Amino acid sequence: MASDPGVLLLQLFTPEARANPYPIYAQLREAAPVIRSPMGGWMVTRYEQVDRVLRSSAFRTPRGYRDVNDPAGPPLFDPDGLLTLHRRNWVLFQSGEAHTRLRKLIMKVFTPRAVRALVPRIDALVDELLAPAIERGTMEVVAELAYPLPATVICELLGIPAADRERNRAWAAVVAATIDPMNTPAQRTAAEQAMAEWDPYIRALLADKRTRPGTSLLDDMLAVEDDGARLTEDEIAANATFLFLAGHETTTGLIGNGLYAMLKHPAQLSLLRERPAMLENAVEELLRFDSPVQFAPRVAIEPLEIEGVTIEKELPLMIALGCANHDPRRFERPDELDLARQDPKPLSFGGGPHYCVGAALARVETAAAFGKLIARAPTIELEAEPAWRAVLTLRGLQELRVRLA
C-alpha cells in the first residue's frame, strides 16, 4: 500500500522521488513526526522534532563505521580499509571531547570574520568564472560556476594545489555516494577504491607540507600535531578528505538548486533583481526551499521515547532536514518560494553541536554567485529541464543549462 509510511520512505530513494521528494515528504510528515524505517531505525519528519533532536544531548552522530557486533547491523565497509579509517576520524562522526577538540581547530578558519576576509577573493573568482559564459550567452551552471567556485575556495583554504582539484573532485564524488543511507555494494566498493588512491595522495601532500610549511588549514593542523602531538596524521588526513567533500559538494548543490528554483519562479527572480538588498534573505529561503543536505544521521545514546515512540539505543535515526523545512506547522505556504519570507530559519545547516562549520562561507559564496550573475545577465532562461544526481542526501543537479542575455 503506497500510503504505508515504511513503503513511502523507501520510495524516496527512487529516481522519480529524487527529482522531487517533496510530495512524499508531505505524506511522511503528515503520517507521523517519527517513522519506523524498513531499512532499520527511524526517520524524524517535522520541524519541531528535527530541531529538538539536533540540539539534544540524548543523541549523538553515529561513529561512521560498524564493528562486527554493531546493533545497527554488520559492517558496510571493510573494517580494515582506508574508507573506514577516514570515516572513523571525520569530525562529523566524533562525539564529546574528541569532537570538541577537532571542531575547535577547524572553526578557527571558518569564523564569520575569517570568511569576510575571503570576500575579495570570492568576488574575483566569480567574475572570472562568469566572464566566458556572459560572452558566449550560454552557461552550464554546475560545471562553470556552482562547482568550481566552492571547490577552488576549499582547495585554497586547505592548501590543495589547483592542478590537483579535478582528481580530488573525482575521489570525493565517489566517496560522497556512500553518505546516502541507501548506498549500494557497487557504490561502496567504488568508494573503497577511490579512497585507496585519495588517502596516499593526501599523505604525500602532508609530507610535502612538513618539509615546506605554508599557511593553509592543513599546515595549521600539522602545526598542532607538532606542538603537542594532539592531532594524529590519520585525523588530519581524514578531515582533509571530509572538509574537501563537505566544502564543495554542498555549496555546489545550493547554487544549482537555488538558481533552478528561481528560474522556475520567474516573478521571484524579478523581485530579487529589483531589490538586490534582499539577497541574504533570498539565500536563506533558497536553502529552505530545496536543501542541498537532506538528512543528518543520529543515534540515541540510551533508549528513549519521542512522541510516544521508543527509540532503541544505537539504531540509526535519519533527521529529515528538507522535509522539516517544508513543515506547514512552522511555515506558511511552505511549498511556495518566497524570497522575501520573514526569517526563514531553515534547518539546512543542521543545529546543535554539529552545526555546519562552513555555513558562513557557503552563504558568502552563494550570495556572490547569485548577486553577480543577476547583475551581469539581464535575462536568464532555462535551456532544458535538468537531471538530478543519484544521491538524495546530498541533493543537487547533474547539470543546469541556461541562456544568458
Binding site for ligand HEM (CB under 6 A): 61, 91-92, 103, 106, 150, 154, 243, 246-247, 250-251, 254, 292-293, 296-297, 348-350, 354, 356-358, 361-362
First to last CA, the chain: 49
DSSP label of 144: I
What the block records as the C-alpha cell of 264 is 522556475
Least distance in angstroms from the C-beta of 280 to ligand HEM: 14
Q: How far is the CB of 296 from ligand HEM (least distance, A)?
A: 3
Least distance from ligand HEM to the Cβ atom of residue 138, Å: 25
In the complex, minimum distance from the CB of residue 54 to ligand HEM, in angstroms, rounded to a whole number: 6
Please list, residue by residue across 241-260, b when 16 or more beta carbons sit within 10 angstroms of its beta carbon and e when fewer do.
Answer: bbbbbbbbbbbbbbbbbbbb
Nearer to ligand HEM, 21 or 292 (CB): 292
Cβ-based nearer residue to ligand HEM, 45 or 250: 250
Shortest spacing between CB 147 and ligand HEM, in angstroms: 13
Report the nearest approach of ligand HEM to the CB of residue 246 (Å): 4
Which residues neighbour 130 within 8 Å (Cβ) at sequence distance 6 or greater? 145, 372, 373, 376
CB-CB contact of 248 with 150 (8 Å): yes
Closest approach, Cβ 150 to ligand HEM, in A, equals: 6
Residue closer to ligand HEM by CB (options 297, 386) is: 297
Nearer to ligand HEM, 299 or 404 (CB): 299
Give just the sign of the alpha carbon dihedral 249, 250, 254, 260: positive
Query: Cβ closer to ligand HEM: 268 or 294?
Result: 294
Closest distance of CB 60 from ligand HEM, Å: 10
> Tell me, what DSSP letter sits at residue 254?
H
CB of 350 vs ligand HEM, minimal distance in Å = 3
Give whole-number Cα distances, 124 to 66, 120, 130, 251, 259, in Å: 44, 6, 10, 18, 20
Q: Which residue's CB is nearer to ligand HEM, number 257 or number 268? A: 257
The 3-state secondary structure of 98-135 reads HHHHHHHHHHHHHCHHHHHHCHHHHHHHHHHHHHHHHH
- Residue among 99 and 403 whose Cβ is closer to ligand HEM: 99
| Distance between CA atoms of residues 217 and 116, nearest Å | 17
Distance of CA 331 to the CA centre of its chain: 23
Q: How far is the CB of 217 from ligand HEM (least distance, A)?
A: 9
Report the C-alpha gap between 6 and 334 in whole angstroms.
24
Residue with Cβ nearer ligand HEM (222 or 357): 357
In this structure, the number of other CB atoms found within 10 A of the CB of residue 5 comes to 19
State whether residue 154 is helix, strand or coil: helix
Nearest residue to ligand HEM, scored by beta-carbon proximity: 358
> H or E segment at 296?
strand 295-300
Burial of 229 (C-beta count, 10 Å sphere; 0-12/13-18/19+):
exposed
123 conformational bin, left if phi > 0, alpha if psi -120 to 50, beta if neither: alpha
Tell me the residue type at 346: P
Give the rounded distance of the alpha carbon of 313 from its chain centre.
26
Query: Closest CB to ligand HEM among 103 and 330?
Result: 103
**Which CB atom, from 66 or from 403, has the smaller least distance to ligand HEM?**
66
